[in-house]
Amino acid sequence: MASKRATTEWGVPGDSASFAVIAAIAEVEGVDPTALDPLLYDAVDADALDRLFRASDRGSTLLDGRLEFSVAEYDVTVFGWGSVAVRRRDDESARTTGEPTRE
């Protein structure tokens, strides 16, 4: 396992919030995203997640805030500005480090 937490961003055409979550979990696990079981789909509707955080023509997302949920042993936070933070629940230090900043 590479780390107990990761932050990933998306926003270029073709990227999605759901893939950013998978990529962040893969980073924490130290594996390629394609090596993960489809555990995201057991926790959240990935299509709905992508619709909530898909950029509109105005450049903003439908959800200007954040969505928090759990996937297996991970706590996931998806931010409306295009950032995903993932931490393993056993990472006590992540509880006090704050959230990614909006650039």
Longest Cα–Cα distance in the chain = 40
Q: How confident is the model at residue 92 (pLDDT cuts 50, 70, 90)?
A: low
Rg (CA), the chain: 13
Query: Is 99 a domain residue?
Result: no
Provide the domain count of the chain: 1
Instruction: Tell the residue number behind the tokens 């759990």, with chain if given.
Output: 70
pLDDT digits 0-9 by tens, 15-36 = 788 989 999 999 998 999 888 8
* Percentage of residues of the chain with pLDDT beyond 90: 24
pLDDT, one tens digit per residue, over 37-56 is 767 888 899 999 988 887 66
Q: State the residue range of the domain holding 63.
A: 5-92
Q: Is residue 75 part of a domain?
A: yes
